[in-house]
Structure 1
Amino acid sequence: MSWARIMAPLSGGQGDAEALAAAVMLAEPFGAEVAGVYTPADVADVMPWTGEGLLGGVQTAALDALREAAAIGERNARFAFERVAYPKQRFAALQTPVWAGLSAESRLSDVVVFTSDAARGRGALAGSFQQIVADEQRPVLIARPGLKVGGVVAVAWEGGKEASRAARLALPLLEKASQVVILSAPKASARSFDPSRLQAYYAARGLEAAVEVLPDHGDAAPALLAASQKLGADILVAGAFGHPRLQEFIFGGATRTLLGADAPSLFLSH
Structure 2
Amino acid sequence: NASGCGGCSKPRDPYELGVTKYSGPAIQENGTLADNSSGAYIYILPGNTEIIPYDNGYYAEYPVNSFSEFWLNNGGTNANEPLPVNLLSFEAAKQNNKALLSWITSGEMNLREFIVERSTDGNRYTSIGMVPAKNTAGNNYYSLNDLQPIDGLNYYRLQMIDRDGIYRYSPIRKLNFSSAGEDVMIYPNPVTGSRVFIASSGNTTGAILYDAAGKLIRQFSLQGRNNTLNLSGIAKGVYQLKVFTGNDTRIARILIQ
Q: Structure 2-normalised TM-score?
A: 0.25
Q: Which has the larger radius of gyration?
A: 2
Length-normalised TM-score, structure 1: 0.25
